[in-house]
């Protein structure tokens, strides 16, 4: 039997996890996938409390103006029941700028589950991204603003995620991400620095990072991930 304190702790960990995972600027954001090209990403997030979460992301360039994809997230808290969510989405470009800036919107539908309870959800988001430079190094800046709609309990969560990336060399880059999440009576800020190393074949990237949340400042999570283009 789970005590009220245990339920409260579970909710904090769940909020922390949903705020940390699936930051879209890492994968595509405002940039659509090239027609006929695909991308697959997997990550493992382990907190200092030994709570673990897993995420998978897939997208495919259907044509020059539309990318389709799916996301899957699983939370495996220590000594508590599994939970998570899955989404199918479409992303389309917006011709809002004549400069090197990119705009896109995303629509998604799916379900969230806690134990055996499933609740339908929907997602709407707007993305902005552009290339940047720092000295002789190239990089990028991206912002995603979106809402996840809980269709079962008529609740929603607002997310504003930003990413600043910089290439260190041909096969390595660094990222600093800030995830802002707002609920009905709470808000959370998560900071996540990461290092990305590209293999010699240039189709596989290995990601190593840390994450820390304002809701649980004493908990630090280690992130390990793999990206693959095909």
CA distance 25 to 14: 22
Per the DSSP assignment, residues forming a β-bridge with 156 are 149
* Count of CB atoms situated within 10 Å of the CB of 17: 26
Do the Cβ atoms of 10 and 17 come closer than 8 Å?
no
For residue 118, give the 3-state DSSP assignment.
Answer: strand
The per-residue DSSP string of 35-94 comes to BT-EEEEEEEEEETT--EEEEEEEEEEEETTEEEEEEEEEEE-TTS--EEEEEEEEEEEE
Higher pLDDT, 154 or 120: 120
**Which tens digit of pLDDT belongs to each residue from 163-178?**
999 999 888 999 999 9
CA distance 86 to 108: 10
- pLDDT for the residue 83: 86
pLDDT at 201 > cutoff 50: yes
CA distance 159 to 100: 25
Q: What is the pTM of this model?
A: 0.80
Which residues span the domain enclosing 186? 4-229
Mean pLDDT calculated for residue range 191-199: 94
Q: How many domains does the chain have?
A: 1
CA distance 18 to 38: 25
Provide the pLDDT confidence category of residue 28 given band limits of 50, 70 and 90: low
Nearest C-alpha neighbor of 213 from the set 194, 196, 190, 229: 190
Query: Domain of 222: which CATH number?
Result: 2.40.160.40
Provide the pLDDT confidence category of residue 78 given band limits of 50, 70 and 90: confident
Both tokens assigned to 198: 């590209």
Share of the chain above pLDDT 70, in %: 87
- pLDDT for the residue 134: 86
CA distance 176 to 66: 27
* Count of CB atoms situated within 10 Å of the CB of 79: 8
For residue 5, give the 3-state DSSP assignment.
Answer: helix
Higher pLDDT, 230 or 109: 109
Provide the pLDDT confidence category of residue 183 given band limits of 50, 70 and 90: confident
């Amino acid at each position: 039997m789970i005590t009220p304190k245990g339920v409260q702790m579970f909710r904090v960990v769940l909020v922390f996890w949903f705020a940390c995972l699936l930051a879209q600027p890492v994968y595509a954001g405002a940039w659509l996938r090239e027609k006929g090209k695909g991308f697959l990403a997997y990550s493992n997030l382990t907190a200092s409390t030994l709570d673990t979460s897993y995420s998978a992301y897939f997208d495919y360039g259907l044509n020059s103006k539309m990318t389709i994809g799916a996301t899957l997230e699983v939370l495996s808290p220590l000594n508590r029941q599994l939970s998570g969510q899955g989404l199918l989405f479409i992303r389309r470009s917006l011709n809002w700028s004549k400069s090197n800036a990119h705009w896109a919107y995303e629509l998604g539908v799916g379900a969230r589950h806690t134990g055996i309870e499933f609740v339908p959800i929907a997602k709407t988001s707007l993305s902005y991204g552009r290339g940047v430079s720092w000295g002789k190094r190239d990089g990028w800046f991206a912002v995603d603003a979106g809402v996840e709609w809980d269709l079962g309990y008529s609740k929603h969560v607002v997310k504003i995620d930003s990413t600043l990336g910089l290439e260190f060399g041909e096969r390595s880059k660094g990222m600093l991400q800030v995830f802002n999440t707002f609920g009905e009576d709470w808000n959370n800020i998560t900071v996540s620095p990461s290092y990305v190393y590209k293999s010699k074949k240039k189709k596989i990237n290995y990601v190593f990072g840390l994450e820390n949340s304002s809701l649980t400042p004493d908990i630090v999570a280690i992130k390990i991930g793999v990206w693959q283009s095909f």
